[in-house]
Amino acid sequence: MTKSSFAILCFLLAFLYFSCDINPYKQGEGLYLHYCASCHMEEGQGLKGLFPPIAGSDYLEANIDQLSCIIKNGLVGEIVVNGRTYDQPMLAIKDINDIEIANLINFINYKWRNVETYISPEDVRTQLEECQ
């Protein structure tokens, strides 16, 4: 291998390395973009008084144990998030399975809650059995 070809190889490897995102929850991110981002927006900021934010949401913090239920069954009725009232219904995601819910929650935790917790599909199942 000549010097120049070695340099090109190094460049390509470096390019590949830096083009890879470090987000460990790829499926969760994909699910978020597919199911949630239409209303909660890509950066989790929500939309004015119509859709509540996920990023920095006190409602999420207070109801974190209900998150599996909210994702799976949706939410109807008024809720107060960061002092603001929202009442647009959130649709249930009927087709989502426990593993996907776990990946989605882990992505949300990683992206917006800055907590190092990990939720397993078993945890999701436990939560779903106790939905209010």
At its nearest, how many Å lie between other proteins and the CB of residue 113? 23
At its nearest, how many Å lie between other proteins and the CB of residue 96? 14
Closest CB to other proteins among residues 34, 125: 34
At its nearest, how many Å lie between other proteins and the CB of residue 1? 6
For residue 27, what are its two tokens? 């499926």
Quick one: DSSP state of residue 80?
E
96, 62 Cβ separation under 8 angstroms? no
d(CA 70, CA 32): 14
Per DSSP, what are the bridge partners of residue 70?
none
Site residues for other proteins per CB under 8 A: 1-2, 4-5, 8-9, 37-39, 41, 47-51, 88-89, 91
At its nearest, how many Å lie between other proteins and the CB of residue 130? 26
Closest CB to other proteins among residues 47, 115: 47
d(CA 10, CA 82): 49
Q: What are the contacts of 16-23 at 24+ separation with CB within 8 A?
A: 23/107, 23/110, 23/111
Closest CB to other proteins among residues 21, 95: 95
Closest CB to other proteins among residues 11, 118: 11
